[in-house]
Every structure is written in structure tokens, then in C-alpha cells.
Amino acid sequence: MKLTVIGFWGGYPKAGEATTGYLLEVADKKFLIDCGSAVVSQLQKFVDPLKLDALFLTHHHADHSADVGALQHVFIIQKALGHSKDIFPIYAEENGYKYFDDLTHNGVTAGVPIDVNNGVTIEDISISFMRTIHPVPCLAMRFSYNGKSVVYTGDSSFTEDFIAFSKNADLLIVDCNFYKGMDGSKPGHMTSEEVGTIAKQANVKKLLLSHLPHFGEHDQLVREAKEIFDGEVQLASTGLTIFM
């Protein structure tokens, strides 16, 4: 398994960067996880969008989904230019994703409902889901293959449910939008202390801090998470690649 960070900002992208988006390569499959502001622009530095196999969306907030339309237009324009591609699946929770019907578009993309209780299986890759605590419906995701697993919290305030969901994960990608001592529960995000607690109690191998805030010094988030979790902690950055 190989993860490449495409975007990592919460809310809006800083100049030349993107909000949430991750490229996960598993076996011969290439999955895009979330598709926030400027993700399609950044994505093309790392992979031809036509080579993607699926998009998984956590929720409809713009910093996670703003570039869905841009990605659809990649397929529309490239199809018109003679580059054929099967209809591209976009996975989201039908009753939770506000714009689910728009995911099926112009014969190039199709919305595929996520069954939270049963998950999704693509060849030998298993994807399971967990509902998070956020102002709108949002899903955490766990991708498992050949004994390895990557967990992504999506957006959420702290819940102990993440501990069981993330148990023994090789990589835990977390929403870390607030610093130690702050309260992220109202906007539905977590602090450095909270994500450190999840990582420790879930016994994960590596913790990746993402959905980063537009204030403060991000290295402080790492230091604060390490006060609780003694494993590897890393800040997300554009193009960062992690192998599992």
C-alpha cells in the first residue's frame, strides 16, 4: 500500500496547495480519498486522473468535495478527445451525502452508495466505514489489504469509537485541526491531544496529522501528540509519500 498526500488543509487551501485529498494505491488499484479545493490540480502532479479506479467521499463539505465537478470535467473533456474510460465510480453514503445524485453525471461518473454496515469489497481490498461526529453526516474509512491497513478519520470531534476502528492500523490519518487545550467539539474536529490518545490506545504504527489549521505553528501539533503517543508522528504535506 502506498499513500500520497495531495491536499491537507482544512477549510481552504493556501496558495499553491489543496484541501483534503489522498491518493491510495493498493495492489493495482488507485483510489482518491476526498476531492477538496484544488485537489484535481495537485493530483495531476502525481497521477493521470484517467488512471484512477474510484473516488471515496467522506462528506459534502467543500474542503472535501469542491473538486468533484472538476474531476468530472476531466473525464468529460478527455472522453471528447477520444480517451475512453469506463464509467468512474464515486462512493458516498446515499442518505448522508447531500449531493449524491450529482455524482452520476453525463455518462462519465456514477454515484455508488456506501453500505456502512457491510462495507465495500473491491477484488481483495476491503473498505469498512464508521460514522463520525460532525455537523453534517461524515464517514471514517479503513482500507485493508494483505494484512495491512490505512485508517482515515474524515472530519470528527473525538469519539472513543475511533480506538476500536483504528486498532493496529499501519497508518492513521487524522483530522487534527486544533491544539492542546482547545475545544474542537462544536465545529466537529479534534485536537493534538485527542488524536494522540486514539493513536496510543489503538496501537497504530504511524500517525499522520492532516486537515491542518490556518493558525499557530504546526510543529507544535506534533510535539503535543507525541506527549501521549510514542510512535511515529508526521505532518501531512503536499506530495508526502508513505509506504505500508
Domains, in order of start, for the chain: 2-243 (3.60.15.10)
Cα 228 to its chain centre, rounded Å, is 24
pLDDT in tens, 128-145: 999 999 999 999 999 999
∠ Cα 55 178 205 (to 5°): 60
Placement of cell 505500508 in the chain: 244
Q: At residue 84, does pLDDT exceed 90? A: no
Q: Are 58 and 68 in contact (CB under 8 A)?
A: no
Mean model confidence pLDDT for the chain: 98
Q: Read off the pLDDT of residues 189-234 as tens digits, 9 standing for 90 and up.
A: 999 999 999 999 999 999 999 999 999 999 999 999 999 999 999 9
What are the two backbone dihedrals, phi and then psi, of residue 97, each rounded to the nearest 5 degrees? -85, 115
Q: Are strands 88-92 and 109-113 parallel, antiparallel or unpaired?
A: parallel
Report the pLDDT averaged over residues 155-165: 98
- Band of the pLDDT at 24, cuts 50, 70, 90? very high
Nearest alpha-carbon partner for 40 in 55, 25, 26: 55
Per DSSP (E only), the strands in the chain are: 2-7, 21-26, 29-33, 54-56, 88-92, 109-113, 120-122, 125-131, 139-145, 148-152, 171-175, 206-210, 232-235, 241-243
Look at residue 52 and tell me whether its pLDDT is greater than 90. Answer: yes
Closest CA to 120 of 89, 96, 147: 89
Please say whether the beta carbons of 170 and 148 come within 8 A. Answer: yes
Q: State residue 236 phi and psi, 5-degree precision.
A: -65, 145
Pairing of strands 125-131, 139-145: antiparallel
Percent residues over pLDDT 90 in the chain: 99
- The residues, any chain, with a CB within 8 Å of residue 243's CB and separated by 6 or more, are 1, 2
Classify burial at 123, counting beta carbons within 10 Å of its beta carbon; exposed 0-12, middle 13-18, buried 19 or more: exposed
Percent of the chain at pLDDT > 70 equals 100
Q: What is the pLDDT of residues 88-130, one digit of tens each?
A: 999 999 999 999 999 999 999 999 999 999 999 999 999 999 9
The pair phi, psi for residue 190, each rounded to 5°, is -115, 160
DSSP helix/strand/coil, 7: strand
48: cell is 493521470
- Count other Cβ atoms within 10 Å, centred on residue 195: 30
d(CA 111, CA 113): 6
